[in-house]
Amino acid sequence: MGAIYYVYSVILFLTIPIIPLSMASILNILIMRFTNMGNHKDLLKIIGGILAMVLAIVFNMKMQKLGTSGMNQQQILNMLSEGNNSLVGISSKVFPGVSEAVKAIVFSGSFVGLKNIILFLIITLCTLFIFLIAGEKLYFKGVIGISEAPSARRKLNNKDLQKVSRKSSPIKSLVGKELKILFRTPIYFMNCIIMNFLWPVFLLIPFFTEPEVFKNFKRLVPVINDTKWIGIIIIISLAAGIFITSSNLITSTAISREGSNLFVSKYIAVGYDVQLIAKVLSGAIMGMVGILAMLLVILFLMKLPLYMILIVFVSSIPGILFSAMLGIIIDVAFPKLNWDNEVKAVKQNFNGFIAIMVGIGVSVLMAIAAINLNFDKFVMSIIAILLFLIIDCILYKIIVTKGVSLFRNIEV
């Protein structure tokens, strides 16, 4: 490898990103100019985030399957290179210039390398030129009105007006408002809503990558159906409710997500205690949805009796309420209201980290106690349920007294 090889490497390192970035930008400009998809940018962000997550999970599953299939490193390299550089050929079909870049490196010591590096730079410049022309001619026409929200304008008759303005309880309306914001805001949807459905997916991954795991798991069905294991199942369900609800970050960022709009909550004709409980209920509802999603996956993997499903769901509720109420107490005590992007309210909020760590810590302590204590597991599970119900009552009292006081003293 001579000096020319390193010169070519530096040139390619600096210029290779130009082609894919230009192609992606041209595609975005065309979409903005000739469709009205920009008016539905929040929906597109949600769909794009879900697709990216699905692709990441599928890629992870494929890599795990590849790793467990017995292939060594040399076999994987042979598979990638067989068929006359098939991987390079596929890449060239997606991104022009890849083949020339590879040949420039491989034949850097000859005229072939010089010819290919020149061809690659010409292709790069042409792509960049097309991007600049498209940007100049189409970008501003496409970006006009992109910040406007779409609305279906229609004339309301008396019946429609009564329907949209019907009376509802304050707490029901506030819970509905919280859930609508969580579902409609892409950042909140990806970090707070989707998290409730990821744990069941993670549970399924080993069964798809290693079929033997599924066979071994099926053998546990008779053991789980044995009534002597109900105590352990109740404790696991309680711990699962704590962990899933604390990890969805709904209540531990509920006040922070209000940001500079918190003043609205101070002026509406609804008590602070009702507003805080509504935020708790929104987090608890999604925690229950997460438990139900987990139960559906377990039902897919093994046939559980109905009474066992009910035991798991009911046992998880005290843990769900514990995490939901603890999260709102943490966030009302230390709200992060100064942010200019929803990401900072959720992903850069230390309150969410504290809630997750508490959830993990409590769940681990319960598991250790269940394993190590030489005590009747069913009695232990009943004590744990009663203990968490008492803690939930205490947390509720804290929310409607100290929590209201803290909420009242928050200044935007």
Distance CA 369, CA 376 (A): 12
Q: Which residue has the tokens 């005290």?
A: 318
Give the mean model confidence (pLDDT) for residues 250-264: 91
Q: Same domain for 114 and 201?
A: no
Q: Same domain for 225 and 297?
A: yes
Q: Same domain for 175 and 137?
A: no
Establish if 30 belongs to a structural domain: yes
Q: Are 273 and 375 in contact (CB under 8 A)?
A: no
User: Which carries the bigger pLDDT value, residue 217 or residue 323?
Assistant: 323
Q: Same domain for 287 and 396?
A: yes
Mean pLDDT highest for which of 33-37, 103-107, 135-139, 386-390? 386-390
pLDDT for the residue numbered 382: 92
The 3-state DSSP composition of the chain as helix, strand, coil percent (nearest 5) reads 80, 0, 20
How many structural domains compose the chain?
2
Establish if 151 belongs to a structural domain: no
- Which pTM value belongs to this model? 0.74
Burial code (b: 16+ CB inside 10 Å, e: under 16) for 219-240 equals eeeeeeeeeebbbbbbbbbbbb
Residue 250 has pLDDT above 90, yes or no: yes
Q: Same domain for 42 and 124?
A: yes
Structural domain harbouring 139: 3-145
CA 6 to chain centre: 41
Q: Same domain for 236 and 340?
A: yes
Q: Same domain for 399 and 297?
A: yes
Establish if 159 belongs to a structural domain: no
Establish if 124 belongs to a structural domain: yes
Residue 24 has pLDDT above 80, yes or no: yes
* Whole-number average pLDDT of the chain: 82
Establish if 154 belongs to a structural domain: no
Establish if 275 belongs to a structural domain: yes
Q: Same domain for 13 and 137?
A: yes
Distance CA 184, CA 283 (A): 16
Q: Which helix (H) or strand (E) holds 343?
A: helix 342-346
Distance CA 159, CA 166 (A): 11
Structure tokens at 47: 């769909």
Q: Same domain for 367 and 272?
A: yes
Is 46 exposed, middle or buried, given 0-12, 13-18 or 19+ CB atoms closer than 10 A?
buried
| Range with lowest mean pLDDT among 18-27, 86-95, 105-114, 302-311 | 86-95
Q: Same domain for 269 and 351?
A: yes
pLDDT for the residue numbered 108: 78
Q: Same domain for 107 and 212?
A: no
Establish if 163 belongs to a structural domain: no
pLDDT for the residue numbered 305: 80
pLDDT for the residue numbered 86: 53
First CA to last CA distance, the chain:
62
Structure tokens at 335: 């709200």
Q: Same domain for 345 and 277?
A: yes
Establish if 158 belongs to a structural domain: no
pLDDT for the residue numbered 139: 74
